[in-house]
Chain A
Amino acid sequence: MPASHEDVYDITIIGGGPTGLFTAFYAGLREMKVKIIDALPELGGQLSALYPEKYIYDVAGFPKVKAQDLVDQLIEQANYFNPTICLNEMVETLIRTNDDMIKMTTNKGSHLSKTVILTSGNGAFSPRKLKLDNIEQYEGKNLHYFIQDMEHFRQKNVLIFGGGDSAVDWSLMLEPIANKVTLVHRRDKFRAHEHSVKQLFESTVDVKTPFVPASFTGDEDGIQEFVLQHSKNEAHKEFIHVDEVIVNYGFISSLGPMLHWDLEIDKNSIVVNSKMETNIPGVYAAGDICMYDGKVKLIATGFGEAPIAVNHAKSFIDPKAKVQPLHSTSIFS
């Protein structure tokens, strides 16, 4: 949803991982106007980006739960109050304005909020990029780090780089749609599920291993050809004509711009007090990003810190509002 510059939110949550999603639900429960901003195209943070298929055993109420299933439940819970969700947006600056607002600018625009809760874990995730000179000019053309619409690849010659689940799964998904799919990985062994790898070798996907990207040629419209080089034999090269290139090299997280917002930082975390307040009035932090004496980094503790931050943010906006809320059992009845 495109953000309106005029809309002022009660609370803006930076980071759509588990703590951010529960924060959004909880702020809705306290009748606040809520927005979530996340750098990735999907909610879920580390759980969705790094280990969607892993089981988590230490979330209260779940004997065990798959990371992505937990995210799906959290999204459903957060959506109960219809928060505004801004994806693919990286917050670059955050300042407190003279009229007691917090203004954020992102790669897409600006946002105004009365309070902010930072739930960005280990910082914003971004895809690990191809390391070739001048390749970045083709992002947004025919070089893709994310896939939004599979139809875009219909009848195309698609080249995919990577050796994990994403690369293998996308190869299999695009195989029936594309004209030809070529998958390139640095080594013969794939890190993906055994079953998917078996399917891969039974499919028409042209698997090139062990090869790495060496160079490319392109014009102003896009990349036209990739030169692949054998991992163990530099002289062995292959030339692949491409219409579209997809890179699935995983994600890197970094605090990045947040380090320049004049927040008190200790060892890559943001220092908060017992109200989850940072040193900037109206700006709170919860989850793995925050630090206080005795802090433990777990999803379980993030879920506890979220209501502390929200209830204090509520009373910050409206000093007459109670910090201690009603129980949810009585709110919904």
Chain B
Amino acid sequence: MGKYAMVDKDTCIACGACADTAPDIFEYDDEGLSQVLLDDNQGIAEISDDLEDDLLDAEEGCPTESIKVSDQPFKTAVETY
């Protein structure tokens, strides 16, 4: 099953660990904070299975636990509240 990811920019410290670990998923925004490059950090683009290990590495390696990973797209998850 595909995964979806978002970076919480309120807690991201721009250390760059995730973009080092998973350069196909994460990039830096204009402020140097990290974001998901696939969908401008909206959490709606499915991350392909071959990148899942990279994603988990990045999630585990984030020093502020700012990387949010879900089995569902984040936009849908928010709307169901």
Binding site for B on A (CB under 8 A): 46, 49-51, 54, 121-122, 125, 128, 163-164, 186-187, 189, 191, 249-254, 267-268, 288, 297
Given A186-B56, A187-B57, A267-B10, are A51 and B65 also a contact pair (CB < 8 Å)?
A: no
Query: Is B70 an interface position by the 8 A CB rule?
Result: no
5 contacts between A and B (CB under 8 A): A50-B63, A51-B16, A187-B56, A252-B63, A253-B13
B60 touches which of A122, A249, A254, A288 (Cβ 8 Å): A249
With both chains docked as a complex, state the minimum distance between the C-beta of B21 and any C-beta of chain A, in angstroms: 6
- CB < 8 Å A-B pair total: 47
Establish whether residues A50 and B64, one from each chain, have CB atoms under 8 Å apart when the complex forms. no
With both chains docked as a complex, state the minimum distance between the C-beta of A247 and any C-beta of chain B, in angstroms: 12
Q: Which residue of B lies closest to A47 (CB)?
A: B15
Establish whether residues B53 and A189, one from each chain, have CB atoms under 8 Å apart when the complex forms. yes
List B1-57 residues whose CB lies under 8 Å from chain A.
Answer: 10-11, 13-17, 20-21, 53, 56-57
* A49 to B14 alpha-carbon distance, docked (Å): 14
Establish whether residues A288 and B16, one from each chain, have CB atoms under 8 Å apart when the complex forms. no
Interface centre among A125, A187, A191, A251 (most CB of B within 10 A): A191
Establish whether residues B11 and A250, one from each chain, have CB atoms under 8 Å apart when the complex forms. no
* A54 to B17 alpha-carbon distance, docked (Å): 11
Establish whether residues B63 and A250, one from each chain, have CB atoms under 8 Å apart when the complex forms. yes
What residues of chain A lie closer than 8 Å to B10, measured between beta carbons?
267-268
Binding site for A on B (CB under 8 A): 10-11, 13-17, 20-21, 53, 56-57, 60-61, 63-65
Top 3 A-B residue pairs of the complex, sorted by shortest distance between their CB atoms: A187-B53, A122-B13, A50-B15
With both chains docked as a complex, state the minimum distance between the C-beta of A56 and any C-beta of chain B, in angstroms: 11
What residues of chain B lie closer than 8 Å to A128, measured between beta carbons?
60
Establish whether residues B11 and A268, one from each chain, have CB atoms under 8 Å apart when the complex forms. yes
- 5 A-B pairs besides A54-B16, A186-B53, A187-B57 with CB distance below 8 A are A122-B64, A163-B57, A191-B20, A250-B63, A267-B10
Q: Which residue of A lies closest to B16 (CB)?
A: A51
With both chains docked as a complex, state the minimum distance between the C-beta of B14 and any C-beta of chain A, in angstroms: 8
What residues of chain A lie closer than 8 Å to B17, measured between beta carbons?
50-51, 250
* A128 to B64 alpha-carbon distance, docked (Å): 11
* A186 to B58 alpha-carbon distance, docked (Å): 13
A252 touches which of B20, B53, B57, B64 (Cβ 8 Å): B64
What residues of chain A lie closer than 8 Å to B13, measured between beta carbons?
46, 121-122, 253, 288
Establish whether residues B60 and A253, one from each chain, have CB atoms under 8 Å apart when the complex forms. no
Establish whether residues A191 and B57, one from each chain, have CB atoms under 8 Å apart when the complex forms. yes
* A90 to B21 alpha-carbon distance, docked (Å): 29
* A163 to B21 alpha-carbon distance, docked (Å): 11
Establish whether residues B61 and A191, one from each chain, have CB atoms under 8 Å apart when the complex forms. yes
Q: Which residue of A lies closest to B15 (CB)?
A: A50
With both chains docked as a complex, state the minimum distance between the C-beta of A160 and any C-beta of chain B, in angstroms: 16
Establish whether residues A251 and B15, one from each chain, have CB atoms under 8 Å apart when the complex forms. no
With both chains docked as a complex, state the minimum distance between the C-beta of A279 and any C-beta of chain B, in angstroms: 22
With both chains docked as a complex, state the minimum distance between the C-beta of A20 and any C-beta of chain B, in angstroms: 16
With both chains docked as a complex, state the minimum distance between the C-beta of B13 and any C-beta of chain A, in angstroms: 5
* A288 to B53 alpha-carbon distance, docked (Å): 31
Q: Which residue of A lies closest to B12 (CB)?
A: A122
* A249 to B65 alpha-carbon distance, docked (Å): 13
* A297 to B11 alpha-carbon distance, docked (Å): 13
What residues of chain B lie closer than 8 Å to A297, measured between beta carbons?
14
* A268 to B10 alpha-carbon distance, docked (Å): 8
* A163 to B60 alpha-carbon distance, docked (Å): 11
What residues of chain B lie closer than 8 Å to A49, measured between beta carbons?
63
